Structure 1
Amino acid sequence: MLAADRREHILREATAYFAEFGLSAGTIELARRVGITQPLLYKYFATKEVLLVAVYERLFPQNWDPALEALLEDAAKPVEERLIAFYRHFAHEVLTYEHVRLFLFSGLTNSALNAAYYAILTRRIFTRIAKALRREFLDDPGRGRVGHAELELVQSLHAAIYHVAFRRWLHGLSVEADLDELIAQKVRIFLGGAGRELVGIAAGRGRSVGRARKPAAPTRRPRAREGA
Structure 2
Amino acid sequence: MLEDYKKGIMQRIFSGNLRFKDAPGQPYPDWEVRKLGEVASFKVTNSFSRENLNYESGEVKNIHYGDIHTKFKTILDLKKETVPFVNPEISISRISGENYCQVGDLILADASEDLNDVGKCIELVNLNGFILLAGLHTILIRPLNDIFFSGYLGYLFASKIIRLQIQKEAQGSKVSGISPLRLKNISIPIPSLHEQEKIAEFLSAIDAKIAAIQTQLNKTLEWKKGLLQGMFC
Superposition TM-score tier, normalisation by shorter sequence: under 0.3
TM-score (norm 1): 0.27
Greater RCO (CA < 8 Å, at least 6 residues apart): 2
Whichever of the two has the greater Rg, that structure is 1
Q: Indicate the structure with greater strand content.
A: 2
TM-score (norm 2): 0.27
Q: Indicate the structure with greater helix content.
A: 1
